[in-house]
Structure 1
């Protein structure tokens, strides 16, 4: 201990003997170096400014465009530059009744106008992130000093001095790394933003941009992820929980750390009281109602262990009600616009699918396939240990199905179920990717072609008898019987194979192919690829 005091005494004596060096020259040198470094960063900002401000302008225009669409303004596709990417927006697929049936995204984001954002959410942001927001011009020197004092007393970084404008600049224009250069650059960006946009615009851009964890960006996507509702429907405590996530999404998200999130929400509610936005008794009552509403359960130590918050993440947050159909659309869009635009360009796709009927069709197909699989599994169990049992088990695993329903008057697709399930292991669409013989369902087209060519009439008589066509093709009727002379009308009604083959032999494949090509709107290549000249 004595040696320690001797060292301290020597240091103090040296400082006293070199007062000018310690208190004037060294601080002055540091200030000069810092000023020079700031000047270098400023020159870098000047070279980037036009590009950065253009990015900011396009982001603001995106929000304005969203607000205009909600007000009923119409746009042509040519008015929107799909490749002018500012932030990633999901592509959404809608059914005929404007229900979302699918989304493609890398970042889950929904842009909403400022009018959708509750006043209490804005107040919570002010109270917790930037109380001087309406007074400063981009940089809060008072906030910086306050954060410095708090961090000094805690001996660690617990509070930041960045304003909301600086945080917006950081996310839009910097690499997010904690470096002095980034902080200086961010300050210049913030000052420029404040010159060009009012406080409401800055808040709107900020709250639509920032990350809230679990792939969600912006308050609208986060509200749906946590609570299953739009941001405009949130109550005060729900707003507080969302704002509480901003400072550290991993640590304060109710999905990844419920207890931390609940405690942070309580502190945000206290901040609202301290800032004069809520009365103490009102805040406490609302917080209790919030815990009851979302069934927050605490353990014996008072830690929140479970709740209903975030239970919407797979239902409302990630929408895929018609998996095979949506994948078909994704491939079409990717071929036309590119994969990057599909996942980030915010396309809106309207389809003829009826979401309610799609849900019913999907359930019906799954129940039907499952029933058949269970039948073969029961037979496999019955013949367990034998080759027949193994064959039945193989049959069970290979059973699949598909279902499509159309509007017979318009040809619009109402439901499209391409298989039992859609996963990373199984993406085969049995509607569009599997080629099978249409069988007897094709006979009406053959008869229609022959009637149109005036080769037959519904009353024409054709002999149903055992016949060999060509060299060795000898079809049989399903029941193995032959009816002799029969009208075309009866032959079609009874699905007689011999008569159908005689009709196509009489009228020729050219007439039939012409009807197929027109009816299915096929090119010559598609027609020759999918249909062959075979009587079977």
Structure 2
């Protein structure tokens, strides 16, 4: 006992000294410790996600990849793997594992190196949320004190959840759910035991132990964790053997985009940054757009197919690159590994995969794909049709053998065909855009800004300023109808030569056909897109009057050139502006503003924004005129009316009767005019207008029915002509048809009701005047009551009664 007395005294004194030291440190550090209660309201940096209105993910934006999980969403198998890796006593200790700390200290003293470490998950939470990574004793004391305080305030499940969602795991992923998506392309609940153990081993060294950057080190760490799970009784030996034998299969995955709509996603991103600043990237907002997933997919396919079809009419432009050095001996082995690396860094565009030609014979070619697979393309699958491109108007002679088309080492494009066949292809140089709106509220149903975001991020649907050509004519004719002209007014279709300083000299406009047709009714002139009639109409109407009317419709007229070229659509606009204007024609004369974001939700699911666009209410005007005696309403009806919060009504900008008449003319464009190809849709409620500019450099088609309005555009970014046989009806209209075929597939036809104040009468097609009862070639036409023409021998020339123009007529 005498021998033990002094050691016991020293032990007691040491213990008391340690307590005094710990108490002193606590008193010294505690006033400066952060408030642990803030962990209850912690906001993890979570990326913004953009969805279609029906829930398909189209974009993710943010510096940190993160998908927060609640404890209930974490698989128990992963909980066990993480405990085995980091802190198997987590659910037993009070925040500090003193045994682990003593073990770490002894290893440090004996070896001079940091060994296993003594940090618990709670201490790591304290460090990750409140402290720096500096290696000092003071930081360690702070970490321990905070861990004790965290254990007092939060449950074990809450602490575990904080750790799982915050820890860095390599490749910009924060939290285990995000890491699961990055490394395996699926959620953590879908992973195997081996994959759970692999993820659990990453925190020790994120850059070295992750399965992409360090697969071997990661595998060693994974198997160590699996052995610990056997020791702790979490799994048996057989389960360990199976998991330890699993190969490391991980590749880097981006966000799980389920639908290609990157141009629209980028528009949403810009709007969110304007609304919330840089916080948009980190607050975990879910942005639901107005896009319809099915129609967006159809729009993508329609644009791609339309451009490839256009491109096939103009020839093969050659390989994108030549990868085989000219000085390589003919019998040398091909550098397939090097070529595959080049292919892996070459993006797939519009479904067209990059490939390198590795073999050529008389029947076809062999190509190497980015996956390393080598496939064959037969002569009939695109090679035979690959006539060489000379210009947009000329192609060379048809090839007679595959060697006339390609050479070894050519980087080309291929696409999968039917029955595992591959076809020869090329990425079109031309670009296109498509915008489709709900004409009743302006919601953007689908939007395509080019053939592929990978090729060009420039959004031609909203950023390209192009001349609309004849696509603008319906609004000139609407202005004329509003000012007293009628669909039967006669304008002379004859040559014009004008000296106009604003047009820089002599101007000799022509019709697309190069022909002139004499006196022409306005209905027929718009149906056939007669340029000279439009110019004369604008001159009679007055340029200022047209600009004022266009401004009332919602056009930005500040830069409208005040000259007669406006009649031919020379003022540049983007497809979204044109589609918005055509929505007025489709919805009966109301101005709606296009919008993309339908609602915004926070990370917790609260809605912080919901769009309330001014919407068309065709019955509101009639209902407003009806008065109801309040005494006739029941209490239930009164309370129901008070609870309703109706959307604001869209403003009428076009007279209902003018709208009806111009719509009937645009239906004739489909039936008898430049849009006849759309008859393939076999619907009687379609209306629209082609547009082609000089060159031709721009090809347009805008059309609609009462439920959908869509604008398509085709052209080159560098303003290269499309080719002399390319027009709105050949380049843009086929895209519109392929899209509207699906957009209107299950939509019943809807005819317009005849508005009050419209009369339908027989007229003489030559003069536009009322026809006598016995005239055989008379036709029917719509008129506003106050503009009904008279019978007579002259011609219905509109409100001015004359067709005199200051011009030289040949």
Q: Which whole-Å CA distance do the structure 2 matches of 1:179 and 1:356 have between them? A: 58
1:415: Cα distance to partner?
A: 3.0
Q: Which whole-Å CA distance do the structure 1 matches of 2:315 and 2:140 have between them? A: 64
The question of whether the paired residues in 1 share the 8 Å contact of 2:437 and 2:444 is answered with: yes
- Long gaps (5+) in structure 1: 1-23, 60-85, 297-303, 384-395
1:286: Cα distance to partner?
A: 4.1
For each residue in 1:471-526, what CA deviation from the matched residue of structure 2 results, as whole angstroms up to 9, or x when unmatched?
Answer: 44432111111111222221111110011222233334556446644655x6xxx4
- Which residue, 235, 242, 254 being the options, matches 1:314? 254
1:282: Cα distance to partner?
A: 2.2
Query: Structure 1 pair 111/439, CA: closer, same or farther in 2 (3 Å)?
Result: same
> Is residue 187 of structure 2 the alignment partner of residue 230 of structure 1?
yes
> Match of 1:379?
389
* Higher fraction of helix: 1
Q: Which whole-Å CA distance do the structure 1 matches of 2:552 and 2:156 have between them? A: 59
**TM-score (norm. length: structure 1):** 0.74
Q: Which whole-Å CA distance do the structure 2 matches of 1:532 and 1:467 have between them? A: 20
The question of whether the paired residues in 2 share the 8 Å contact of 1:103 and 1:320 is answered with: no
Q: 3-state SS of the aligned residue for 2:183?
A: helix
Query: Structure 1 pair 362/193, CA: closer, same or farther in 2 (3 Å)?
Result: same
> Match of 2:563?
534
1:409: Cα distance to partner?
A: 4.0
> Match of 1:327?
266
- Which residue, 24, 27, 40 being the options, matches 1:57? 40
Q: Which whole-Å CA distance do the structure 1 matches of 2:427 and 2:30 have between them? A: 62
The question of whether the paired residues in 1 share the 8 Å contact of 2:122 and 2:151 is answered with: yes
> Is residue 477 of structure 2 the alignment partner of residue 447 of structure 1?
yes
> Match of 1:180?
137
1:233: Cα distance to partner?
A: 2.4
Q: Which whole-Å CA distance do the structure 1 matches of 2:476 and 2:215 have between them? A: 66
> Is residue 513 of structure 2 the alignment partner of residue 479 of structure 1?
yes
Give the superposed CA RMSD: 3.5
> Match of 1:46?
31
> Match of 1:349?
287
Q: 3-state SS of the aligned residue for 2:461?
A: coil
* 399-408 or 169-178, which deviates more: 399-408
1:456: Cα distance to partner?
A: 2.2
> Match of 2:228?
271
The question of whether the paired residues in 2 share the 8 Å contact of 1:102 and 1:319 is answered with: no
- Long gaps (5+) in structure 2: 1-9, 319-387, 397-425, 501-505, 566-810
Query: Structure 1 pair 95/152, CA: closer, same or farther in 2 (3 Å)?
Result: same
Alignment map for 1:180-329 (pairs within 5 Å): 180-288=137-245, 291=246, 296=247, 307=249, 309-311=250-252, 313-314=253-254, 316=256, 321-329=260-268
For each residue in 1:38-88, what CA deviation from the matched residue of structure 2 results, as whole angstroms up to 9, or x when unmatched?
Answer: 8568645423423x542x2321xxxxxxxxxxxxxxxxxxxxxxxxxx431
> Match of 1:301?
none
For each residue in 1:84-134, what CA deviation from the matched residue of structure 2 results, as whole angstroms up to 9, or x when unmatched?
Answer: xx4311011111211110111111111122211101111112122111111
1:246: Cα distance to partner?
A: 1.6
The question of whether the paired residues in 2 share the 8 Å contact of 1:455 and 1:506 is answered with: no
The question of whether the paired residues in 2 share the 8 Å contact of 1:90 and 1:347 is answered with: yes
> Match of 1:465?
494
> Is residue 509 of structure 2 the alignment partner of residue 499 of structure 1?
no
Q: Which whole-Å CA distance do the structure 2 matches of 1:188 and 1:512 have between them? A: 77
> Match of 1:404?
434
Q: Which whole-Å CA distance do the structure 2 matches of 1:208 and 1:428 have between them? A: 36
Q: Which whole-Å CA distance do the structure 2 matches of 1:98 and 1:287 have between them? A: 38
Query: Structure 1 pair 47/501, CA: closer, same or farther in 2 (3 Å)?
Result: same
Higher relative contact order (CA 8 A, sep 6+): 1
Query: Structure 1 pair 287/247, CA: closer, same or farther in 2 (3 Å)?
Result: same
Q: Which whole-Å CA distance do the structure 2 matches of 1:185 and 1:93 have between them? A: 40
Q: Which whole-Å CA distance do the structure 2 matches of 1:470 and 1:337 have between them? A: 53
Q: 3-state SS of the aligned residue for 1:109?
A: coil
Q: Which whole-Å CA distance do the structure 1 matches of 2:231 and 2:427 have between them? A: 63
Alignment map for 1:508-523 (pairs within 5 Å): 508-509=542-543, 512-513=546-547, 516-517=550-551, 520=554
1:248: Cα distance to partner?
A: 1.1
> Match of 1:413?
444
> Is residue 69 of structure 2 the alignment partner of residue 112 of structure 1?
yes
The question of whether the paired residues in 2 share the 8 Å contact of 1:219 and 1:231 is answered with: yes
The question of whether the paired residues in 2 share the 8 Å contact of 1:210 and 1:218 is answered with: yes
Q: 3-state SS of the aligned residue for 2:201?
A: helix
Query: Structure 1 pair 49/225, CA: closer, same or farther in 2 (3 Å)?
Result: same
The number of residue pairs the alignment matches comes to: 444
Query: Structure 1 pair 369/502, CA: closer, same or farther in 2 (3 Å)?
Result: same
After the TM superposition, which segments of 4 or more aligned residues of structure 1 sit over 6 Å from their partners? none
Q: Which whole-Å CA distance do the structure 2 matches of 1:517 and 1:347 have between them? A: 37
Query: Structure 1 pair 466/223, CA: closer, same or farther in 2 (3 Å)?
Result: same
- Which residue, 115, 118, 121 being the options, matches 1:161? 118
The question of whether the paired residues in 1 share the 8 Å contact of 2:181 and 2:255 is answered with: no
Q: Which whole-Å CA distance do the structure 2 matches of 1:116 and 1:534 have between them? A: 67
For each residue in 1:269-307, what CA deviation from the matched residue of structure 2 results, as whole angstroms up to 9, or x when unmatched?
Answer: 11111111111112323444xx2xxxx3xxxxxxx6xx3
> Match of 1:171?
128
Q: Which whole-Å CA distance do the structure 2 matches of 1:46 and 1:256 have between them? A: 43
Query: Structure 1 pair 464/91, CA: closer, same or farther in 2 (3 Å)?
Result: same
The question of whether the paired residues in 2 share the 8 Å contact of 1:124 and 1:243 is answered with: yes
Q: 3-state SS of the aligned residue for 1:217?
A: coil
Q: 3-state SS of the aligned residue for 1:203?
A: helix
For each residue in 1:181-200, what CA deviation from the matched residue of structure 2 results, as whole angstroms up to 9, or x when unmatched?
Answer: 21111111111111110000
For each residue in 1:403-439, what CA deviation from the matched residue of structure 2 results, as whole angstroms up to 9, or x when unmatched?
Answer: 223145444323323234446x954322222211111
1:158: Cα distance to partner?
A: 3.3
The question of whether the paired residues in 1 share the 8 Å contact of 2:261 and 2:296 is answered with: yes
Q: Which whole-Å CA distance do the structure 1 matches of 2:279 and 2:29 have between them? A: 31
* 250-259 or 356-365, which deviates more: 356-365
* Higher fraction of strand: 2
Q: 3-state SS of the aligned residue for 1:176?
A: coil
Query: Structure 1 pair 107/320, CA: closer, same or farther in 2 (3 Å)?
Result: farther
Q: Which whole-Å CA distance do the structure 1 matches of 2:54 and 2:140 have between them? A: 48
**TM-score (norm. length: structure 2):** 0.50
Q: 3-state SS of the aligned residue for 1:331?
A: helix
